[in-house]
Amino acid sequence: MSDNEIGRRGALRCMLWAGSGVIWTVSGGVPRALGDTQPADGFTFAQVSDSHIGFAREPNMDTPGTFAAAIAAVRAAPARPALLLHTGDVSHLSRPDEFDAAEKIMAGAGLDTHAVPGEHDVIEDGGAAFMARFQSRERGKGGYYSFDQGGVHFVGLNNVIDLRAGGMGHLGADQLAWLADDLRGRAASQPIVVFAHIPLWSVYPEWGWGTEDSAQALGLLRRFGSVTVLNGHIHQVMQKVEGTLAFHTARSTAFPQPAPGAAASPGPMKVEAPRLRAMLGVASISQVFGRSELAIIDTPLGA
Amino acid sequence: MILLNRRDAATLLLAQLLAPRAEAAAAEVVIDNFTFTPATLNVAAGTTVTFRNRDDIPHSVVSALRPPAFRSKVMDTDDSFAFVFDRPGRWDYFCGLHPHMQGTIVVT
């Protein structure tokens, strides 16, 4: 089978573990649910999001504990992920002690970790401290960067800087120009995984759940046969497939947020302690060459 | 007479000193459920407006002007930010973390 064919059909399969994160298998096509015990047999990577280290209110007084549980679940995955993505809001208030704690917990995965900032990570200093600590290897000057691994082209975007009154997430002209340049000349058959904090599709503009200039970014990605967009920010799982673009938001490891419009505001949902871990999550993804479906599964770790 | 005039003058002076303080109005904007309340606040020039975060998520107050005319630090639950609005006009602002949250201070 040619690379081209794999690429066109190839996509991502994902098993979601509530309470921890998402493990992804790149394999191909349209979303299809997999059993949570099914081992991934390709290139696998994990996603965690919205750890909000520093948050200590109802419903979660122990965000380091739930984040550590998520990392432990990634560690215990049947197929060891090749890398770990964190889709932002690593910290709650961008404080050095929060970054310290988060960095130590994430290191427990023993994996290459790639992070993009959430709006909670760029308070006061425009994200300089976050980038210095979590993106030093990628040298993402404005908090965005790309790299290749396992045949997949990964693009980390920053849509939380320079937000405008009344607006939503924002990429900006410089980042869009960089993205166009980054994708130029790349084979359309190569699977692309884009990860950013705020959803790159309009989930619920009334709550600012979208990115105002994402259409331009998605326009640059449409020629590729398999594009998976991974986001956080909304602390719940949402998915959408649009042509060759598959969108997925991950759960938070800290606290759940209500479904769009289901509450007066997007503040933390107050859930009883026994239910909390069932509403937190991790994602795991892997690529299986020659298989042709993209599947995403939600499997609560807690009951 | 002279003495009385002096006393009157002193009383007047005292009144003038006290008057601005008595009028220096203070007003408050409260943040609850990702909303600034009141959304539009009318104040006299010189009023100190205190923004108080009663939400369980941090927020901030940033002037919509570029560059911003005023900007708070991030306010965690129960933190507040005070700013004296001494120039008349319409001052739009938003939350730097959640920019869909907007409000206006109208200064006359």
Residue A272 is predicted with a pLDDT of 85
Which is nearest to A60 in space by CA: A287, A298, A285, A278?
Answer: A278
CA distances from A94 to A19, A54, A101, A126, A129 (A): 23, 9, 12, 10, 8
Q: Are A37 and A255 in contact (CB under 8 A)?
A: no
CATH number of the domain within which A151 lies: 3.60.21.10
Which is nearest to A131 in space by CA: A90, A169, A166, A172?
Answer: A90
Q: How many residue pairs from chains A and B have C-beta atoms closer than 8 A?
A: 60
| A37 pLDDT above the threshold of 50 | no
The CA distance from B18 to the nearest CA of chain A, in Å, is 38
Whole-angstrom distance, CA of residue B26 vs CA of residue A166 = 27
Helix (H, G, I), strand (E, B) or coil at A201: coil
Whole-angstrom distance, CA of residue A47 vs CA of residue A283 = 5
A219's enclosing H/E stretch is: helix A214-221
Band (A291; pLDDT cuts 50, 70, 90): very low
Please give the tally of structural domains in chain A: 1
Helices (H) and strands (E) in chain B, counts: 1, 8
Over chain A, what is the mean pLDDT? 83
Burial of A25 (0-12, 13-18, 19+ CB in 10 A): buried
Mark residue B89 as left, alpha or beta (left: phi above 0; alpha: psi -120 to 50; beta: remaining).
left
Domain residues for the domain of A96 are: 3-300
Band (A27; pLDDT cuts 50, 70, 90): low
Taking CA atoms, what residue in B is nearest to A210? Answer: B100
Over residues A74-121, the pLDDT tens digits come to 888 777 888 999 999 999 999 999 999 999 999 999 999 999 999 999
Taking CA atoms, what residue in A is nearest to B71? Answer: A124
| A180 pLDDT above the threshold of 50 | yes
Domain ranges for chain B: 24-107
Q: Of all residues in chain A, what percent carry a pLDDT higher than 90?
A: 58
Fold of B24-107: Immunoglobulin-like (2.60.40)
Pairwise CB contact (< 8 Å): A166 & B99: yes
